[in-house]
Structure formats: C-alpha cells, structure tokens
Amino acid sequence: MSKTMRWVLNALATAITAGLLMSSAPSAFAQQRQQHRVVVIEQVPVIDPFFPYPYPYPPNYVARNYGYVKVNAHHRSAAIYVDGGYADRIEKTKQFALRPGTHEIELRDSDGRTFFQERVAVIVGKTTKVDVPA
C-alpha cells in the first residue's frame, strides 16, 4: 500500500471517528446544561434622586422593553424558578421584570419540591399578578 493511500485512509478513519463523537456529544451536553440553568431577572428599579443612575442603559429602558411579574405568596422560604431556572428567593423578590412572552413560574420549598406552578403571559409595560394559594 502506498504512503498516500495510507494517509488518506488514516484521515478518513479520523474524520469518521470525530463525526461519531460529535454526534453523541450535543445530547449529553444539552442534558448537562438543562440541569444547571439559571434565569437572569431584572430587579424593579428604585427611583432615588440623590443616587446617580448606575446602569449603562438609558433611563426607562426596563419599562420600555420588559414586563413585570408580581408574586403574591405567603411562603417565606420559597424559591422562585422561571422556565426551569432558579431566579431568586421569595423573601427578597416579590416583583421582577422579565422579557415579554409566556413563562413558567414555579415556587419550590426548601427541599426543592415544587408546590406551585403556573404559566403566565408577560406583556411589555404591564404587570402580571400571580396569586399563590395559602
């Protein structure tokens, strides 16, 4: 067998092996990514005339591009999850801004069990209220 033919066969075998490995990697990576998902929420801005605007965004940027979700819950130690990702603790955040669209809001207890789940529609500039039964 010539040197060129051997080189071509080695390159072909390497390409086939790499293709097989790459085809199985995305599904394993997607499963791992799904387990550790975190959702970034925007806090409702507080107007303080004595404190300069701390963000590089123009004033009222959140109000023009986001909708608000207000959670009315009597549970102090619950965690808020948005679309399967951890957002914040209920005692720290009762109202937060999200991008417009439909979102899955979950409340979980300290053991990680979901005790409330609801799909909400977030509209730009509007507040969606979520009432959690006691």
pLDDT tens per residue across span 6-36: 888 888 788 888 777 666 555 555 544 445 5
Side-chain-side CA neighbours of residue 82 (13 Å): 27
Q: What are phi and psi of 58, to 5 degrees?
A: -65, 160
Between CA 78 and CA 61 the distance in angstroms is: 29
Whole-angstrom CA distances from 51 to 43, 54, 93 are: 17, 8, 21
Q: What is the pLDDT of residue 106?
A: 92
CATH of domain 42-131: 2.60.40
Residue 104 has a CB neighbour count (10 Å cut-off) of 13
Pairing of strands 127-131, 67-72: parallel
Domain-by-domain residue ranges, the chain?
1-36, 42-131
What is the pTM (predicted TM-score) of this model?
0.56
Residues of the chain with pLDDT under 50: 31-34, 46, 48
Burial label for 42, CB within 10 Å (0-12, 13-18, 19+), is middle
End-to-end Cα spacing for the chain: 79
Residue with tokens 């591009």: 65
Share of the chain above pLDDT 90, in %: 12
Question: Looking at residue 9, what is its pLDDT?
Answer: 81
Residue 115 near residue 108, CB atoms below 8 Å: yes
- The 10 Å Cβ neighbour count of residue 132 is 16
